[in-house]
Amino acid sequence: MTDSQWQVVEKIIDNQRVRHHSLRTIVNAIFWINNTGSQWRNMESKYPPWQTVYYHFRQFKLRGIWEELLDCLAIDERKRQERQATPSLLAIDSQSIKSVQFIGEDTGIDGNKKINGRKRTILVDTLGIPWCVKVTSAGVSDNQAGIVALESLKGKVPRLRKIIGDHGYKTTFIQHAYEKYSWKIEIAQKPESTQGFVPQKNRWQVERSFGWLNFRRRLAKDYEKTVESSEAMLQIAYTTILLNRLPN
């Protein structure tokens, strides 16, 4: 991280506790893991011992620091783009991804995509900034995964009025969003005669946000033992993307 990037991160994660290792170096090590896809035990020697780095990764996850950091950067980025602090429109979509062999918790088969692993559900605004990241078994339907994801939006988006999704969110998701939160759901669907990717107004940004993850080797498959760690790794990836947008 640059000095300006660290100033933003430090305000949120530093609790002024005395540490043997620099907190900035520890966070850089976590970002390095996320970017390179290396195992914790293969941490480069220039960073603190992997046990120390993993301890802080886990503590930040349990304390909700990664989510808080992403939310703060999302608000800052919207203000920098001369938008309101929170969005009134979000797009939702999911991505099923394979998990590695030793992962047995919260995994399943996505019958539609023929993938054995986990499902990533995100809700993004029109800038592609994620406001919710949720990981479930790939065997969970889009409707149910979407309902779980909506719970994470509580208190974050007071201006939200509409969510745009595809046909996977047609039934119970629409009913739940309207009855519990008064949010309208719009189903966007490409014409049946078209083939391949077709940009859809106010929804193509969510596909691009998934595309950003292709540059993070740790996220090529799901290597995390728990869904909470999977969500944290996704939040870290999007955090680094937003940090790189900060002016020097």
Q: What is the mean pLDDT of residues 183-194?
A: 77
Q: What percent of the chain has pLDDT over 90?
A: 81
pTM for this prediction: 0.93
Read off the pLDDT of residues 215-230 as tens digits, 9 standing for 90 and up: 899 999 999 999 999 9
Read off the pLDDT of residues 60-98 as tens digits, 9 standing for 90 and up: 999 999 999 999 999 999 999 999 999 999 999 999 999
What are the CA-CA distances from residue 201 to residues 91, 126, 130, 184, 207 (Å)?
A: 10, 9, 17, 16, 12
Q: What is the secondary structure of 96-146 as a DSSP string?
A: EEEB-TT--TT-EEETTTTEEEEEEEEEE-TT--EEEEEEEETTS-HHHHH
pLDDT at 190 exceeding the cut of 70? no
Query: How confident is the model at residue 210, as a pLDDT?
Result: 96
Give the CATH fold of the 3-243 domain.
Nucleotidyltransferase; domain 5 (3.30.420)
What residue segments make up the domains of the chain, in order of their start? Answer: 3-243
pLDDT band for position 194 (cuts 50, 70, 90): low
